[in-house]
Amino acid sequence: MSAFAPMVARGAPLTFVDTYVQRCQTVHALLCSACGLDLEIESPHFRRFVEVLSNKGPPAVVLDTLTAMTGDLSRALPLPLSHVLTFAGRKFRGFAYISEGNSRYCVSQNAGLLLAGALDLHLTAGGSPAEAALMVDVFHLAFPEPVELDRLSSAAGAVMVGVVPCLHAQRMKIYYNTRLYAAPGHRDRIASILERLQLEGMGFYDVIFDPAYHAQFHGVGLDLDGDGSTRAKLYVHVKYEDLGALVQATAKAINGVSTADASDLAAEAHKAVSAIRKEHIVPEAELAVALSSDGPPTLKMTLFISQDSADLGAENDLAALFESCGYDVDLLHAVLAAARPSGPESVGVAPTPLKSVGFELPVGDVPKLNVYVRPPMLAAARVLKSLDLPGVPGGSRF
């Protein structure tokens, strides 16, 4: 039986939930094949990821009525998953699968269970204890008193966990939504995280919070690659019309980047994002500053695809960009088709599983792209994310 429980009894008709499971598995199989990964090896890893993050035990604390109700609904649903496809140098380079878990309990318990699951996955796959300690330390620096998160709706995602399958190893990603922790001292908490990571990045933080850019800090992500280096990203959300100015200002904060170079980078960013027509994206974009112990900072911008559009215009725009860059548009179409529900199951869901598109900067002639695909789930399953409740975030990470 699949770890994507619940599953129907043998011989019973498939439900939408079961088809969602099958669509996730089909997308995973397509991507493994495209990467040359052995599905007999990777499928058990994928199932275990789902099993470990689908904690179905009883709550550790007494829940209020609303949290208990949302938890009951969440327990009836499979684990929400996204796949992230990376393309660079005219080739498909690999993928990751990520999840923010289900909203089963209060926010602090959900976050703690995700951290525990990440540690289990990391150490079981042979990850280093030092990187495991890093995950724990950053969690406590981001959320000094996790119970403070419980003022929010249980649908608020404080932690997200991802895995990057590779031929001979497994790399981990973990993201912390620091903006949910509303106590004073956010800047000090980010400074403490960067100090623990031994990375320089507070100059970017101060640029981000310049009132001129109307930006909102969203969180910190760690890349655990097992190669002895330290990599992290600072994530910011900004209005689409302010993206170019923030790109230019952030680029100027990188050592060795001149004002002219920063201006050129902003122009490149504007040209790249125009590949997806404005009517197909939401008015908010994401800028990530990537910090590394073994290289200079880099920038990445992400556009979020509107889920209100009744057509597939964003998919068509992305396909045109793929063709102009020499990327495998057939793989893109196959993945989107596998993720998309059909027939009666498509009623009430967004027409496209395309969630967002990320561009690495500088863009160059052939941009490095990250394509986020999330198979749509039953419309009722999205109630938790659409209710007018405090602390329910959006975005590619949180």
Give the model's confidence band at 51: pLDDT under 50 very low, under 70 low, under 90 confident, else very high: very high
Q: What percent of the chain has pLDDT over 70?
A: 82
User: For residue 103, what pLDDT is reported?
Assistant: 78
Residue spans of beta strands (DSSP E) within 213-294: 216-224, 231-239, 281-292
Predicted confidence at residue 394, as pLDDT, reads: 42
Q: What's the pLDDT at 180?
A: 92
Q: Please check whether residue 23 lies inside any domain of the structure.
A: yes
Q: What pTM, to 2 d.p., does this model score? A: 0.87
Least confident segment among 34-43, 115-124, 235-244, 304-313: 304-313
Please give the sequence-ordered ranges of beta strands (E in DSSP) within the chain, or none if there are none.
82-88, 91-99, 159-165, 170-176, 216-224, 231-239, 281-292, 295-305, 354-361, 369-373
Q: Model confidence over 355-368: pLDDT tens digits? A: 999 999 887 778 89
Per-residue pLDDT, averaged over 58-87, amounts to 70
Interatomic CA distance for residues 356 and 370, integer angstroms? 8
Distance separating alpha carbons of residues 345 and 376, to the nearest angstrom: 10
- pLDDT bin (cut points 50, 70, 90) of residue 106 is confident
Is the pLDDT at 386 greater than 50? The verdict is no
Residue 337 placed within a domain = yes
Q: How confident is the model at residue 383 (pLDDT cuts 50, 70, 90)?
A: very low
Specify the pLDDT at position 258.
85
pLDDT at 396 over 70: no
Looking at the predicted structure, is the pLDDT value of residue 353 above 80? yes
The per-residue pLDDT for 321 is 94
Q: Is residue 6 part of a domain?
A: no
**Mean per-residue pLDDT over the chain, rounded:** 85
| 4 belongs to a structural domain | no
Confidence of residue 66 (pLDDT cuts 50, 70, 90): low
**CA dihedral sign of residues 308, 28, 395, 321:** negative
Question: What does the pLDDT read at residue 382?
Answer: 45
**Which segments within 184-321 are labelled E, that is strand?**
216-224, 231-239, 281-292, 295-305
64/263: higher pLDDT: 263
Judge whether 394 lies within some domain.
Answer: no
Q: Which domain holds residue 98?
A: 16-385
Q: How many domains does the structure of the chain reveal?
A: 1
**Per-residue confidence (pLDDT) for residue 317, from 0 to 100:** 95
Identify whether 397 is part of a domain.
Answer: no
CB 215 within 8 A of CB 237: yes
> What pLDDT shows up at residue 10?
42
242 belongs to a structural domain: yes
In this prediction, residue 7 carries a pLDDT of: 35
What's residue 75's pLDDT? 61
Please report which confidence band the pLDDT of residue 127 belongs to, taking 50, 70 and 90 as the band edges. very high
- How far apart, in Å, do the first and last CA atoms of the chain sit? 30
**pLDDT for 50:** 94
Specify the pLDDT at position 390: 44
Residues 45-67 have a mean pLDDT of 72
Given a contact cutoff of 8 angstroms between Cβ atoms, the answer to whether 318 and 332 are in contact is: yes
Tens of pLDDT along 157-213? 899 999 999 987 789 999 999 999 988 999 999 999 999 999 999 999 989 888 888
Q: How far apart are CA 25 and CA 227, in angstroms?
A: 29
User: Most confidently modeled of 8-17, 114-123, 146-155?
Assistant: 114-123
Nearest to 370 by CA among 283, 272, 284, 293: 272
Closest CA to 50 of 102, 126, 10, 111: 102
- Per-residue pLDDT for 12 more than 90? no
